[in-house]
Amino acid sequence: EPEVTQTPSHQVTQMGQEVILRCVPISNHLYFYWYRQILGQKVEFLVSFYNNEISEKSEIFDDQFSVERPDGSNFTLKIRSTKLEDSAMYFCASKRWTSGDGTDTQYFGPGTRLTVL
Amino acid sequence: GQQVMQIPQYQHVQEGEDFTTYCNSSTTLSNIQWYKQRPGGHPVFLIQLVKSGEVKKQKRLTFQFGEAKKNSSLHITATQTTDVGTYFCAGKGAQKLVFGQGTRLTINP
Residue B21, pLDDT above cutoff 80: yes
By the CB < 8 Å criterion, does B42 face chain A?
Answer: yes
d(Cα B99, Cα A20) in Å, to the nearest integer? 25
Residue B1, pLDDT above cutoff 80: no
Whether the bond into B8 is cis, omega within 30 of 0: yes
The answer to whether the beta carbons of residues A49 and A66 sit under 8 Å apart is no
| pLDDT, tens digit (0-9, with 9 covering 90-100), for B40-97 | 899 999 999 999 999 999 999 999 999 999 999 999 999 999 999 999 999 986 667 8
Q: What is the 3-state secondary structure (H, E, C) of B1-43?
A: CCCEEEECCEEEEECCCCEEEEEEECCCCCEEEEEEECCCCCC
d(Cα A116, Cα A24) in Å, to the nearest integer? 23
Averaged pLDDT, A5-34? 95
Closest CA to A109 of B36, B37, B42, B95: B42
- pLDDT at position B97 is 84
Are A91 and B102 inside 8 Å of each other by CB?
A: no
- To test the contact with chain A by mutation, choose from B9, B45, B96 the residue with the greatest count of A C-beta atoms within 10 A, namely B96
- pLDDT at position A101 is 54
- To test the contact with chain B by mutation, choose from A42, A48, A56, A107 the residue with the greatest count of B C-beta atoms within 10 A, namely A42
